[in-house]
Structure 1
Amino acid sequence: MKLIFLDIDGVMNNWIESQPSNKHESLEFASSCVENLKYILKETNARIVVSSTWRIGETEKTLKDKVFKHYDLEKYILDVTPVCWEEPRGVEIASYLASLHICNVEGIVILDDDSDMEDLKDYLVRTDPKYGLTKKDAELAIQILIK
């Protein structure tokens, strides 16, 4: 199984297309970012583990219903990473990977606009929050997942 660790703000929204959302204080997903994520999913058959702060206080089920269903992405959501207060996101992702009961992880990629990935930085596709997830980012993510 291939896993995408997905941040939301700065990855699934951007300064150009996104509008304020009633559901969150943040922004709705930008259509171009959704299409680029779907492209990665189609090309790699990966599943999504939500690593965004949007996961705090939510389960993967509530995130599926509240957020991802609107974009026809709910079927790709596998899980959420643990919250390790005051630790970098890379530590949270490493903790998740260490606790996996799924032994057949074939590849991972981290889609995030932050760089705090510690030992997992080689798996990071760092997005520019001005644009969110671009086609170029998607191509790089695919390359990381299939290598």
Structure 2
Amino acid sequence: MRSLSNIIFLDVDGVLNSKFWDNEHQREISEGKYVDIEKVSLLGSLVKRTGAKIILHSGWRFWFDKSMKPLRPEAAFFADAMKSEGIQFAGVTPDLTTEEIRKTKKFSLVKADEILLWLEENSYDNWVVLDDLELNNIEIGKHQVKTDAEVGLTVMDVERAVTILAGRQKLIDVSDI
């Protein structure tokens, strides 16, 4: 197994778009442009600063084939936006969803397990999770930058991710809680 070095587990909705952005960009959304280019640019700065590889752990991963070729116009726009920032996908998390989870869109029920399984099966140095959802796992929580779905990825979120990827974050001792 080769080491991928720093890893960013990337969610899309609530990270690279936001409820605020959605409200202000109905035309773009109607054209299948569901990601905020400014948020993708922020992600690009994080990738450039840390040399991190992107592992897609969003439901958006189902909009790509096994070789990460987009299957839908929304995914093509997303992939092009990422490419314009010099970002490529290094892979996706395993799919542990059930029909029930897909139907109800309750992906948060398995996201932590999918990330942990990926970590178990791959080599890496440091990792961070960018997601707006509570993933209900202490180990994941130590590495998560929980974005605000109202605003998406911010400069402060990027700085926190840089700190986590540098291994300098103060891990919360459960006994302190």
| Preserved contact between residue 6 and residue 111 of structure 1 (Cα < 8 Å) | yes
- Which structure: larger Rg? 2
Distance 2:153 2:61 in 1: 19
What is the 5 A alignment of 1:1-147? 1-18=5-22, 19=25, 20-23=29-32, 28-56=34-62, 58-59=64-65, 61-63=68-70, 66=76, 67-71=78-82, 72-73=84-85, 75-85=87-97, 86=101, 87-100=109-122, 103=123, 105-118=124-137, 119-147=139-167
Q: TM-score, normalised to structure 2's length?
A: 0.71
Distance 1:82 1:15 in 2: 27
Following superposition, the deviation at residue 7 of structure 1 comes to 0.2
Distance 2:87 2:154 in 1: 22
Following superposition, the deviation at residue 116 of structure 1 comes to 1.0
Following superposition, the deviation at residue 34 of structure 1 comes to 1.3
State, as a whole percentage, how many aligned pairs show the same letter: 28
Q: TM-score, normalised to structure 1's length?
A: 0.85
Q: What's the Cα RMSD here?
A: 2.2
Structure 1 gap ranges (5+): none
| Preserved contact between residue 90 and residue 117 of structure 1 (Cα < 8 Å) | yes
Structure 2 gap ranges (5+): 102-108, 168-177
| Preserved contact between residue 109 and residue 141 of structure 1 (Cα < 8 Å) | yes
Aligned length: 141
Distance 1:80 1:13 in 2: 19
Structure (1/2) with the larger helix percentage: 2
Letter in 1 for 2:14: G
Distance 2:136 2:54 in 1: 17
Following superposition, the deviation at residue 77 of structure 1 comes to 1.0
